[in-house]
Amino acid sequence: MYTRWFKRLTILVLLLVIAPAARPIFSDSMPTSLLIERKGKAAPGTPEQRILAAIDAIRAGQIADATATVEALLLEQPNYRLAHLLRGDLYAMRAMAIRGIGGGLDNKEVAAQLEDLRQEAFQRNQHRLNPPHVNKLPGNLLVFAPEMKHAILVDTRASRIYIYANDNGTPKYVTDFYATIGKLGFDKYKEGDQRTPLGVYFVTSHLPREQLDKTYGDKADLYGVGAWPLSYPNELDRSQGRTGHGIWLHGVPEATYARAPLASNGCVAMANPEMQKIAEYLQLGKTAVVIAPGVQWLTQDDWAKQRDRAMETVEGWRHAWAERQTSRYLNYYSDQFRSDDGQNLRTWSEQKASVNNSKDWVDIELKDLSIFAAGENGSQLVSSFEQDYRSNNLENRMKKRLYWQRDGQGWRIVWEGASNAG
């Protein structure tokens, strides 16, 4: 009898001491008198909906319901660290009042892990308070190429990844999930800086778990169910001297359901079940992944106007080139322009003026056009297309990309050349 009770006491102590970590949103102090012994009702829903329901129940003093919800969640996701931490807090409340998530665990040795989990809870709750704008459209997704079925939008500040469908050219919300980015945030510049890049990228391939196991051995567990490499560095990144490689969408280790908001080496990581769902929407070589420091939420009318302006800009460039209006054509280029073969604006201008003077006629057709916006407040446009160029002495077809930067006078091209993905 003594041995059995000793084992139970040991398990309880372990739950209080080693349960993992997180933060917001309890009341400043939760009196133990609220802990009425009754059978609670577990909240339904996704793991994220349940973890937030448990936090709400704790705040409301509905401890039995919170306990039932956490226990049901852990039966479904036994490695969900944030849920373990809440369970530890619920046990601690039986002995004392606590302040905030992780208040039942006062241990400096795990302070960093506690803060990670608190930030995860904070980001999930912020998303609930500011859900996707179902009546608005993301200004980051302007034009889908016809064969592009979906696009992925990553909001690095909000730790969120959105999936949008191509609904006859209009982005249609599908779903969204919590996501992890680089340990030191975003705007990657060099190899090893542990930041997630900002820009427009494309899913280039799929590395299933079996392949990762063969390549990385035990380290493959870092990527969970698999990895989907992105086209970082893109053409503009390379022209700006940005370095690094191996930026992927991927899962998380088996030992945890989710990672902290800032925890990867630069990749975008999701819970394994959610990464598997996202994978259903990925077309290798076609799906765009727009990584931005925030989403431009626009009314449908404002989105249509922004899309039309972007298309008119690309069409104006094409028309000026086809009509050999050299001065007007060159006005579309930035002083910081670079071409894929390293030309600056001066040498580019000289070449184009010479070429245009040698032509009797020019016809240019753009097919499979896509336009996406990245950067702060959509300050960068990326247009990709198949270019069919014909003139009296030359015919050429190529996949091409233009990177545009907004300045005080409108959009200017900062990079032009053959595309390497998408």
Instruction: Give CA–CA dist 316/326, Å, rounded.
Output: 12
pLDDT, tens digit, 9 for 90 and up, residues 229-278 = 999 999 999 999 999 999 999 999 999 999 999 999 999 999 999 999 99
Instruction: Write the CA distances from 80 to 20, 128, 223, 242, integer angstroms.
Output: 9, 19, 17, 36
292 versus 13: the higher-pLDDT residue is 292
Q: Is 250 annotated as catalytic?
A: yes
User: Confidence band (pLDDT; 50, 70, 90) for 132?
Assistant: confident
150 is catalytic: no
Band of the pLDDT at 35, cuts 50, 70, 90?
A: very low
Most confident of 89-98, 124-133, 159-168: 159-168
Top-confidence residue, 30 or 308: 308
Confidence band for 135, pLDDT divided at 50, 70 and 90: confident
The pair phi, psi for residue 106, each rounded to 5°, is -105, 90
Distance CA 266, CA 174 (A): 25
Mean pLDDT computed over 307-326: 97
pLDDT at 30 over 50: no
pLDDT band at 120 (very low <50, low <70, confident <90, very high): very high
Which is catalytic among the residues 84, 127, 150, 250?
250
Query: pLDDT (tens digit, 9 = 90+) per residue, 405-415?
Result: 998 889 999 99
3-state DSSP call for residue 73? helix
Residue 23 pLDDT more than 50?
A: no
Residue length of the chain: 422
pLDDT band at 108 (very low <50, low <70, confident <90, very high): low
pLDDT-based confidence at residue 209 (cuts at 50, 70, 90): very high
The predicted model gives 392-415 an average pLDDT of 94
Cβ neighbours, 10 Å, residue 109:
6
Q: What top-level class would CATH report for the domain 139-297?
A: mainly beta
Q: What is the pLDDT of residues 213-233, one digit of tens each?
A: 999 999 999 999 999 999 999
User: Which has the higher per-residue pLDDT, 6 or 146?
Assistant: 146
Average pLDDT, the chain: 90
299 token code pair: 């009314």
Could you report the per-residue pLDDT of 50-106, keeping only the tens digit for each?
999 999 999 898 999 999 999 999 999 999 999 999 998 898 887 777 777 876 665
Alpha carbon separation from 108 to 105, 111, 113, 256 (Å, rounded) = 9, 5, 10, 22
> Which structure tokens are listed for 288?
């765009």
Q: How confident is the model at residue 300 (pLDDT cuts 50, 70, 90)?
A: very high
Please tell me the class of the 298-418 domain. Answer: alpha beta
pLDDT attached to residue 12: 34
Residue 183 clears pLDDT 50, i.e. is over it: yes
Question: Does 26 score more than 60 pLDDT?
Answer: no
* pLDDT score for 34: 47
Q: Write phi, then psi, for 22 (nearest 5 degrees).
A: 175, 180
* pLDDT over threshold 50, residue 17: no
Residue 131 pLDDT: 85
CA distances from 193 to 159, 197, 219, 267, 391 (A): 19, 10, 20, 12, 47
For residues 316-337, one letter each, b for 16 or more C-beta atoms within 10 angstroms of the residue's C-beta and e for the rest, the string is bbbebbbebebeebbebbbeeb
Per-residue pLDDT of 136-153, as tens digits, reads 999 999 999 999 999 999
Set 84, 133, 267, 319: catalytic member: 267
Cα(125)–Cα(372) distance, rounded to whole angstroms?
28
Give yes or no for residue 301 having a pLDDT over 60: yes
- E-strand ranges in 81-149 read 137-138, 141-143
| Cα–Cα separations (whole angstroms), residue 408 to 310, 379, 411, 412 | 16, 11, 8, 10
Instruction: Sketch the domain layout of the chain as residue ranges.
Output: 2-129, 139-297, 298-418
pLDDT score for 100: 75
CB 397 within 8 A of CB 386: yes
The model's pLDDT over 335-385, given as tens digits with 9 standing for 90+, comes to 999 999 999 999 999 999 999 999 999 999 999 999 999 999 899 999 999
